[in-house]
């Protein structure tokens, strides 16, 4: 038997006992040691997460060890691993074109299927990432940072160009980190003083703008000497922020939506057309992005410990979620220790 935590409906968690996963062909049994709490989990708890059904076991940012290799030749008992939590079909048009992250029938672990808020999980070997000597904390941070790495790759960020990232939550911070690694001049935009302080003092972001205390357009013009950012990336999932982002874009620029919200996008067609702008979404990440994040960690370009501001025991998660949801508490990344 093992203990699980399920989100039964918005605002309600319930601990339960369940059978451990049994042997399954092509799957390995993993022991869960760390679970990163992400925006998807918080939105599911709030009831604002698209593509979501209840009840659901949340959790897809994982640091695990192999409990039963089940005959695998690539993994041994005790190996440190994480998972790529996007289970693709392998045969649709996206998969055939090397884009499994946006598979037409994608099933995301912890979103469309039950996730990692339990002691043991059974995962396809194809989804595993060998962690080597990386710690469980580091492994649990690879997936959210990969979202950022993928967004920067989608945007085609070039050295020297101005990149505005709207939203300084964990995903936004990862976008800033990998934009900097790509050589960009990064501008952070948020309305949370604590997060903007983190951007400047922990990530060494060159420019920070407080969205409710400063004239954003004027600040952007000042920073870019009137050009405006050639890349704008939304990491808020706020409809209002997404709509406002269109006006921050340079002529010939690219607007990348990483954040997700439920409503429609509305923009001035003449203003967008005049810029000959590009609008694109960025969904999930690929194994190449995971590899890029791991190389960056090992090279010392990314400090994983900087992101973890809160630690929670598995038995305390349910009661801590309201605290984690409140931006005033300055939570960057909460890590569950199992």
Task: Per residue of the chain (338 residues), give pLDDT as tens.
Answer: 999 999 999 999 999 999 999 889 999 999 999 999 988 888 888 887 777 889 999 999 999 999 999 999 999 999 999 999 999 999 999 999 999 999 999 999 999 999 999 999 999 999 999 999 999 999 999 999 999 999 999 999 999 999 999 999 999 999 999 999 999 999 999 999 999 999 999 999 999 999 999 999 999 999 999 999 999 999 998 999 999 999 999 999 999 999 988 889 999 999 999 999 999 999 999 999 999 999 999 999 999 989 999 999 999 999 998 888 787 888 999 999 99
> Within a domain: residue 291?
no
> Within a domain: residue 288?
no
Q: Which two tokens stand for residue 95?
A: 């998969």
DSSP of 94-148? HHHTT-GGG-TT-EEBTTTB--SSBSEEEEEGGGEEE-TT--HHHHHHHHHHHHH
Residues 63, 108 share a domain? yes
Residues 159, 125 share a domain? no
Report the pLDDT value the prediction gives residue 38, as an integer from 0 to 100.
Answer: 87
Partners of residue 82 on adjacent β-strands = 129
Q: Which two tokens stand for residue 237?
A: 């999932």
Residues 13, 80 share a domain? yes
> Within a domain: residue 54?
yes
> Which structural domain, as residue segments, surrounds residue 154?
148-281
- Give the total number of structural domains in the chain: 2
3-state secondary structure at position 40: helix
> Which segments of 246-309 does DSSP mark as H helices, in order?
269-274, 287-298
Report the pLDDT value the prediction gives residue 337, as an integer from 0 to 100.
Answer: 96
End-to-end CA distance of the chain: 15
Residues 92, 6 share a domain? yes
Report the pLDDT value the prediction gives residue 46, as an integer from 0 to 100.
Answer: 86
Report the pLDDT value the prediction gives residue 155, as an integer from 0 to 100.
Answer: 97
Boundary residue ending a domain (264, 281, 298)? 281
Residues 153, 101 share a domain? no
Residues 53, 83 share a domain? yes
> Within a domain: residue 299?
no
> Within a domain: residue 293?
no
Report the pLDDT value the prediction gives residue 50, as an integer from 0 to 100.
Answer: 73
Report the pLDDT value the prediction gives residue 7, as an integer from 0 to 100.
Answer: 93
Report the pLDDT value the prediction gives residue 227, as an integer from 0 to 100.
Answer: 98
Report the pLDDT value the prediction gives residue 328, as an integer from 0 to 100.
Answer: 83
Residues 222, 277 share a domain? yes
Residues 129, 170 share a domain? no
pTM of the model as a whole: 0.95
Residues 273, 167 share a domain? yes
Residues 178, 237 share a domain? yes
Boundary residue ending a domain (263, 281, 299)? 281
> Within a domain: residue 8?
yes
Residues 119, 44 share a domain? yes
Boundary residue ending a domain (281, 296, 316)? 281
Q: Which two tokens stand for residue 181?
A: 């690694």
Using the structure block, give the residue that is written with the tokens 């203003």: 271
Report the pLDDT value the prediction gives residue 247, as an integer from 0 to 100.
Answer: 97
Residues 261, 217 share a domain? yes
Using the structure block, give the residue that is written with the tokens 């909460």: 334
Dist. CA 31–CA 28, nearest whole Å: 10
Q: What is the CATH number of the domain that holds 47?
A: 3.90.180.10
Q: What is the CATH number of the domain that holds 232?
A: 3.40.50.720
Report the pLDDT value the prediction gives residue 172, as an integer from 0 to 100.
Answer: 96
């Amino acid at each position: 038997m093992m203990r699980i935590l399920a989100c039964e409906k918005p605002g309600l968690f319930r601990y339960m006992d369940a059978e451990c996963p049994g042997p399954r062909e092509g799957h390995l049994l993993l022991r869960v040691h760390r679970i990163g709490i992400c925006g998807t989990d918080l939105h599911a708890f709030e009831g604002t997460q698209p593509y979501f059904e209840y009840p659901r076991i949340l959790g897809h940012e994982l640091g695990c060890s192999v409990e039963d290799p089940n005959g695998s030749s690539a993994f041994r008992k005790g190996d440190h691993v994480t998972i790529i939590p996007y289970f693709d079909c392998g045969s649709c048009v996206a998969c055939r074109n090397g884009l499994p992250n946006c598979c037409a029938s994608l099933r995301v672990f912890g979103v469309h299927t039950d996730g990692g808020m339990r002691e043991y999980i059974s995962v396809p070997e194809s989804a595993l990432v060998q962690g080597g000597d990386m710690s469980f904390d580091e492994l649990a941070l690879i997936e959210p940072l990969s979202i950022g790495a993928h967004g920067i790759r989608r945007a085609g960020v070039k050295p020297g160009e101005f990149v505005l990232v709207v939203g300084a939550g964990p995903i936004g911070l990862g976008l800033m980190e990998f934009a900097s690694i790509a050589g960009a001049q990064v501008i952070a935009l948020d309305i949370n003083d604590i997060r903007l302080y983190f951007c400047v003092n922990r990530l060494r972001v060159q420019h920070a703008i407080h969205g409710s205390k400063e004239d954003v357009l004027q600040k952007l013009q000042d920073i870019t000497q009137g050009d405006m950012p050639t890349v704008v990336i939304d990491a808020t999932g706020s409809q209002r922020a997404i709509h406002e982002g269109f006006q921050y874009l340079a002529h010939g620029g690219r607007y990348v939506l990483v954040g997700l919200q439920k409503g429609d996008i509305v923009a001035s067609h003449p203003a967008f057309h005049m810029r000959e702008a590009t609008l694109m979404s960025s969904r999930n990440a690929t194994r190449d992005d995971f590899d890029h994040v791991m190389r960056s960690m090992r090279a010392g370009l990314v400090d994983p410990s900087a992101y973890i501001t809160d630690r929670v025991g598995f038995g305390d998660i349910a009661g801590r979620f309201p605290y984690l949801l409140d931006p005033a508490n300055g939570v960057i990344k909460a890590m569950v220790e199992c």
